[in-house]
Amino acid sequence: MNKPTGWRVGVALAVLLGSAGAYWWRGHEALKKSPTAPPNPTFSDVLRNGLKLGLDLRGGIHLVMQVKTADALRVEAQDTLERLKDEGGKRGVAIVATGPADGTGFGLRLDEKTDAAKLKDLVTSILPPNAWSVDQRGREWRISYKDSERITIEDQATRQAVETIRNRVDALGVAEPVIQRQGTDRIVVEIPGVDDPSRVKEIIGTTGLLELKLVDDRGGPYPSMDVARGAYGGTVPEDLEVVEGFNEDADARTRTPVWYVLKRAAAVTGRDLKNARVDRDKFNQPAVMFFLNAAGAVKFAKVTGENINKHLAIVLDKRVQSAPVINSQIKESGIIEGNFTPEKADALTLVLRSGALPAEMIILEERTVGPSLGLDSIKKGVLASVVGMICVFLAMVLYYRLSGVNAVLALVLNALILLGAMAYINATLTLPGIAGFILTIGMAVDSNVLIFERIREEIDNGKAPKAAIDLGFKRAWGTIVDTHVTTISAALFLFQFGTGPVKGFAVTLVIGLLASVFTAVFVSHLLFDLIYGPKERVETLSI
């Protein structure tokens, strides 16, 4: 006792002001960034914006998506196969594919008359040897990806998907979206404040692959897949494919599915797209008008010019949207019809403008919280916190009198440090995080209880009050360290395990417990010293 208290008061005040300041600063920062902030924020506006709220409190959508990288691999393999066939045609190497390319590679068969050495030359000149491995079995060749190439393509596909999704989410104009790659092929998308889960999923999840393909002369439409195949004697040739579409009658409310037989190679794809906007079709229904870039326009003009009076299928994500007749040469624009609602047409333009995803996406996990549930959770969490704190405070004051007040002050500071630290590191407050907050208060008080009980014991053992205080703090210290290490290390495993909301819980618990070491030991001791220190003799403690 009677130790210098000046620097200790300084430290305590600095922490107090620092925490409050950090919270205040973050509140202002958040308001500055928020597009919907009121022009003259009031005190309560700043207070409400100090903590970043999790999706479960703010409302919003959390998606874990998987890029079907096998798709990208297949497309790449198919492209390579086409290139090989084209080049082979030029050099007089007649090859046919043994089947469509898949995610591992493709197979081809060499014509009986052609020399295998010629194919070998062709393959070595076109396919980089570090990307493809060639397995030769007589005239049947199997060309497969090497592992390194497969990994590169998968990685590229995922990276490209992240980029595309970012573009699309940015076009939605929402604040603070999170788009994060997770592992090789997963993407986490978190969009706070969005209350239209279906729309968001549609915009993010649509591949948006636009292909313009010529309809074969005998291409249908046919009422079923089997009929379509039957028209070609059971199987369609390798350069054609059967694609589903729907009846073109725009007035019909119910769509009847039909099947077209199309050329497998696309005349123009979405890669050649420059822009897209909402327009009206001939029935005055919403439709999407697209514009090609220079390279695309050249290709398109050539194809349409050569195929006047034939049908051109507009294929979106492997579905024929429409198959109009080419009346004249078209250069750079076209229209996608499809019985769209205005919202759908709007979403599609957004998707087309941001570019196609490199592969199909599947949603592995979806968590949507509506804004009203979030608001309800905040209200309940705050109420529970306040009531819980009051209960603890009352119990402490009842049980320990003046020393209880000391503990209450320490707890209040503890709560303040917790809020300040969370604001400072911009941690996210979630509903379990609120539970962590009030649990922290319940657990942090344990340190005070340990110390106070120890002081009482020392007094029982006949120590003078002032000495009892110092001894109480000293003797309880080891135990306080033990209790904190156990609780905090268990909470750390929550980081490893948890998803967003649970991580929020772990963050609050760990910060709160760390802060409680400071408040219960340092600040509480200081308060005792400030109360009893100046007195010459202390007869009794209020404990």
Partner 1 sequence: MRLFHKTNIDFLKIKWICISLSVLSIVIGTISLLVKGGPNLGIDFTGGAQIVYAFSKNPDEDQIRRIVEAANVKVVSVQRFDKAEKNEILLRVPLEKKEGRDLSKEVTTALTKALFPKGADATAFDLNLNGGDTLLGKLIADDPEKLTTRPNADPKVEYGREVQAIISARSEKGLFASADEAAKTPGVSPAVADWLRSKTLAGPFTLLSAENVGPQVGKDLREKGMWAILFSWAAMLAYIAFRFRSASFGTAAVVALIHDTWATLGLCSILNLEISLTVVAAFLTLIGYSVNDTVVVFDRIRENREKSKRTPLVELVNHSINQTLSRTVLTSVLTFMVVVVLFFLGGEVLRGFSFVMIVGIIVGTYSSIFIAAPLVVVWEDWKQKRATQKPASAPAPTKPGKASAAKAR
- Picking from 146, 140, 114, the residue whose alpha carbon sits closest to that of residue 127 is 146
Q: What's the closest the beta carbon of residue 503 comes to partner 1, in angstroms?
A: 9
Is 342 a residue that touches partner 1 (CB under 8 A)? yes
Give the nearer residue to partner 1 in terms of CB position, either 148 or 180. 180
Give the nearer residue to partner 1 in terms of CB position, either 15 or 64. 64
Q: What's the closest the beta carbon of residue 356 comes to partner 1, in angstroms?
A: 18
Is 489 a residue that touches partner 1 (CB under 8 A)? yes
Count CB-CB contacts under 10 A for residue 315: 25
CA distance 390 to 497: 32
Interaction residues for partner 1, span 113-172 (CB under 8 A):
172
The edge-to-edge listing of strands for the beta sheet with 268-269 is 257-263, 240-246, 319-322, 312-316, 210-214, 268-269
Helix axis angle, 371-424 to 500-517, nearest 10°? 40
Interaction residues for partner 1, span 492-511 (CB under 8 A):
493-494, 496-499, 501-502, 505-506, 509
Is 435 a residue that touches partner 1 (CB under 8 A)? yes
Interaction residues for partner 1, span 16-45 (CB under 8 A):
36
Is 66 a residue that touches partner 1 (CB under 8 A)? yes
Interaction residues for partner 1, span 173-202 (CB under 8 A):
173-174, 193-199, 201
- Give the distance, in angstroms, between the CA of residue 65 and the centroid of all CA atoms in the same chain: 8
Buried b (16+ CB within 10 A) or exposed e, 475-507: ebbeebeebbeebbeebeebeeebebbbbbbbb
494 φ/ψ angles, rounded to the nearest 5 degrees: -65, -30
CA distance 500 to 320: 40
Buried b (16+ CB within 10 A) or exposed e, 172-192: bebeebebeeeeebebbbbbb
Instruction: Kindly report the three-state secondary structure assignment for every residue of 487-507.
Output: HHHHHHHHHHHCCHHHHHHHH
Range in contact with partner 1 (rule: CB under 8 A) among 129-137, 266-274, 361-369, 517-525: 361-369
Q: What's the closest the beta carbon of residue 213 comes to partner 1, in angstroms?
A: 25
Counting Cα atoms < 13 Å in the Cβ hemisphere of 480 gives: 27
Is 354 a residue that touches partner 1 (CB under 8 A)? no
Range in contact with partner 1 (rule: CB under 8 A) among 217-225, 234-242, 308-316, 485-493: 485-493
Is 418 a residue that touches partner 1 (CB under 8 A)? no
Is 110 a residue that touches partner 1 (CB under 8 A)? no
Range in contact with partner 1 (rule: CB under 8 A) among 80-88, 119-127, 158-166, 383-391: 383-391
Q: What's the closest the beta carbon of residue 242 comes to partner 1, in angstroms?
A: 22
Q: What's the closest the beta carbon of residue 278 comes to partner 1, in angstroms?
A: 9
Is 270 a residue that touches partner 1 (CB under 8 A)? no
Is 366 a residue that touches partner 1 (CB under 8 A)? yes
- Give the distance, in angstroms, between the CA of residue 255 and the centroid of all CA atoms in the same chain: 34
